[in-house]
Structure 1
């Protein structure tokens, strides 16, 4: 059994501060809050939430590793997929990254676009965390030449003026505050968080009309209704979120990379407790109520719901495949070969090969992560030439 190191004194103090704030908030709200609100505060409370505070999140020293953190190959393949879109928009296209992580993708992608001979007019990062903004800006300043760095801007909200270009989100939807539901005998219940002593506990209340309708819509697409006692997650707000982040987009594409399942697999009868979990120090933590502010809380993505949200926003469904197939269809072999040819020694060769393995092997990110794309007013189907899985939605 793997033992996760206990938080140090400073981390404990940080978590205790957020815990006290959560308890006060719950008391002010009548003694209970929806789990989705608890998750939102744990992740995004200003200065204290997991993504809002200063602790390192990404990479070997953090709690998890994302594909862009492994090296430049992911960004190079993404540039191969989206550079043709920028060319179709004839130098009027902008790029919008939702959640900028450590800034690795922005740095590598701008360099990859320059190598492709096409640059977005602006590269915008929609990042709610002030701490992460500072880290991203520092990385951009330290790595990129001025003519590339000056194209990168940070947004407080979605683009408000009509625009054209590319929206990309990597491991963003899994971090949206999710509603937890439970199937009762005759109705749908929603999970809430209350305080008992000094501990957080989960209770249930009858779900509101929006959540009930979302769950019943899920059941209508399954082979049979969900069994009594079945627990899982749903994002009733997903269609509104998609429309909000794209803003008044006139033409372009949306690309989402994340872990998850098509609806029938997500709500399989055997998955009786959903997909909710937390990550701390590269380990899965089942107790999502523990150590608020110190662990990432996440739920897998219902890709069928994402397909519905994207097309509902007026976009054409472009494709759905595993991350491995998306990267292979967009030049991974070519970029890996170029990277190896530039290696100075065998250690560098091994690093490139390890990057490819982690991006593509089924036991790593290759199949656990999927990519879904949408287009509006441009051609984008060529980015999804391998491994089409749209039949599973």
Structure 2
């Protein structure tokens, strides 16, 4: 089965250089599809459009993070929204450093570097003792932006930052990944007529791409044990006569497993949007969670401007929790972003600003409202953390922990 998608008419048109880069990436992927017999699984396509050297969305030079389409960015993250996010997040990180007796921090996918700069300053203000702040970043363009931002904003503490090309074999300290898991490639599965198919990518007649579904078990598409069990679980909970599209998350769970195995002492925090398994694969979530972001507009077509738009899927946190615990790490906590930030003191931090200075106070209050509101980021975003060598929990998980829902 082939399903064509169409470019949203409302999206801005990229400039000539960007279109040329996208066309080059399209050519490479079409060659790969031909070499593979005319079909690629969607996770491979997603990996290429996001991470292909020099041409992928995260490995290329396009601006990604910002406050609006006018600055050429595609989306905004919590660190860009308010400096109070970093100032608040620093408190549980500092507590984890002290509780584990470690002195090193590591961040994955540091974006513009604004979160790292904010954390460095906040940790310094808290008197936290640490020796290094490592950033694992594959994009050369983002590394340069991070260096510039951190050097400008973090002062002398910038000298403690170093960049890594790959994970170390072992690490003792505190690990952070903010909106990293949602950018991991996902597999797509579609149920039609009661039969599950793997959804992949084929060449379309217009020089682009189209979805093509192939029945699992045919043409070498044997399901792995975990995917087969998951699809059977969805069948048991839903009407098999209802069409259903969803994702599985081997890349994100594999990454979590690797990070938790690397962690010999300390804690690992992940902040992202998503749901526990029973909500993720709910009977009413029949179209999955795959989403694309371009110039601060969200849409569902992953074949628009390949390499120039972000493609994401919500995180299935039960699988993330299972992956971490399988390595022997402890599940430190799981809760909403709103509860985590309130436990960590974000409202107290806001209260330190003078309401009599509306030019400063009102934008800060509006940003905090977006971070905490159920209608904005407060409920959709979650925080999950793993630990080794920590006794008890952290203040940020002391109230409202939802680990029992995983």
Aligned partner of 2:4 in structure 1 is none
User: CA 1:325/1:215 → structure 2, altered by over 3 Å: closer, same or farther?
Assistant: farther
Does residue 257 of the first structure (1) align with residue 264 of the second (2)?
A: no
**1:1-393 aligned within 5 A:** 3-60=10-67, 61=71, 62-90=73-101, 92-146=102-156, 148-160=157-169, 162-183=170-191, 188-197=196-205, 198-207=207-216, 208-209=221-222, 211=224, 213-217=226-230, 219-220=232-233, 224=237, 227=240, 229-246=243-260, 248-338=262-352, 340-341=353-354, 345-379=357-391, 380-393=393-406
> Over aligned residues, Cα RMSD in angstroms?
2.2
Deviation at 1:149, TM superposition (A): 1.0
Deviation at 1:249, TM superposition (A): 1.9
Deviation per CA, 1:202-239, whole angstroms, max 9, x where unpaired? 11234444545324146448862672532100012443
8 Å CA contact 2:194, 2:240 repeated in 1: no
Deviation per CA, 1:319-356, whole angstroms, max 9, x where unpaired? 21111110000011221122x14x89321111211121
User: CA 1:274/1:218 → structure 2, altered by over 3 Å: closer, same or farther?
Assistant: same
Cα distance in 1 for partners of 2:9, 2:331 equals 42
8 Å CA contact 2:273, 2:315 repeated in 1: yes
8 Å CA contact 1:159, 1:248 repeated in 2: yes
Does the residue aligned with 1:265 lie in a helix, a strand or coil? Answer: helix
8 Å CA contact 1:239, 1:312 repeated in 2: no
Deviation per CA, 1:174-221, whole angstroms, max 9, x where unpaired? 110101112366764211111022120111234444545324146448
Cα distance in 2 for partners of 1:346, 1:289 equals 44
Cα distance in 1 for partners of 2:27, 2:36 equals 14
Deviation per CA, 1:335-387, whole angstroms, max 9, x where unpaired? 1122x14x893211112111211111112111111111122111334321232
| Unmatched 5+ stretches in structure 1 | none
Does the residue aligned with 1:53 lie in a helix, a strand or coil? Answer: coil
Cα distance in 1 for partners of 2:247, 2:240 equals 15
TM-score (norm 1): 0.92
The answer to which of 216-225 and 281-290 deviates more is 216-225
Deviation at 1:268, TM superposition (A): 1.0
Does the residue aligned with 2:250 lie in a helix, a strand or coil? Answer: coil
User: CA 1:87/1:25 → structure 2, altered by over 3 Å: closer, same or farther?
Assistant: same
TM-score (norm 2): 0.89
The answer to which of 204-213 and 63-72 deviates more is 204-213
Cα distance in 2 for partners of 1:242, 1:173 equals 9
User: CA 1:210/1:117 → structure 2, altered by over 3 Å: closer, same or farther?
Assistant: farther
Deviation at 1:246, TM superposition (A): 4.3
Paired residues, number: 388
Does the residue aligned with 1:274 lie in a helix, a strand or coil? Answer: coil
